[in-house]
Amino acid sequence: MQKIADLYFVDGCGRCSLYATPACKVHTWAEELQLLRGIMLNSGLTETMKWGCPCYVNQDNKNIAMMVAFKNHASISFFKGMLMKDPHNLLQVSGENAQAAKFLRFTSPQQVIDQQSIIVEYIQEAINIESSGAKIEFKQKHELEFPQELIQKFNEDPSFQEAFMRLTPGRQRGYNLHFTGAKQSATRTARIEKFIPKIFKGLGFHD
């Protein structure tokens, strides 16, 4: 998994077989990502790398937003997007089970340029929400009783949630049983981290 921000924009996140190839999605949205990176860096946030992608944190090292390149768009995902007002009705969710993150979607450099003032406005609101100490109240929205550690991972990384939700119900159930089988929270988290690469590949627990 990518750990160097500058290399992310060259080789990608390292979470799939397209890593460091011309087909990696960072090349599809190269200009959009660079424009968004500039806006994020000018916002006063610090650029770090988490889950293979650029993540932007405040002075207390609290997660504010992250950038991700998908097949059909580039995005800025806000970790506590559910608490944002979204006056321009631009924020989107990755799926019906999303409980914290919301994202802005971009499909052209001009869109980033045209919406720059709005992006800055949303970033500042996200910073203010984190500074206020506001918390997300997680609620179970799936027939499977996901462990809190998995729900937290979904909200930290919307692309991981999308990958998990694309799995067949049987594969989702298999992973869920394995994760919840651990008695300790640290063990559940470790199990989730171990299988992230397989989940991104669409593979099941026994595949």
Q: Identify the segments of the chain with pLDDT beneath 50.
A: 140-141
Pinpoint the alpha helices (H) of 97-184: 109-114, 116-132, 148-156, 158-166, 169-180
pTM: 0.71
Q: Is 69 helix (H, G, I), strand (E, B) or coil?
A: strand
Beta bridge partners of 105: 75
Q: What is the pLDDT of residue 166?
A: 87
Q: What is the pLDDT of residue 51?
A: 84
CA distance 180 to 186: 12
Give the residue from 59, 32, 34 showing the smallest Cα distance to 46.
Answer: 59
CA distance 196 to 110: 34
Q: What is the pLDDT of residue 128?
A: 97
CATH node for 5-132: 3.90.1150
Per-residue pLDDT tens over the stretch 87-121: 999 999 876 556 788 999 999 999 999 999 999 99
CATH 3.90.1150 range(s) for the chain read 5-132
CA distance 82 to 136: 8
Q: What is the pLDDT of residue 139?
A: 57
Q: Are 177 and 195 in contact (CB under 8 A)?
A: no
Cα distances (angstroms) measured from residue 2 to each of 53, 85, 188, 191: 7, 32, 23, 20
Q: Both tokens of residue 151?
A: 């729900």
User: Who's near 60: CB < 8 A, 6+ residues apart?
Assistant: none
Q: What is the pLDDT of residue 140?
A: 47
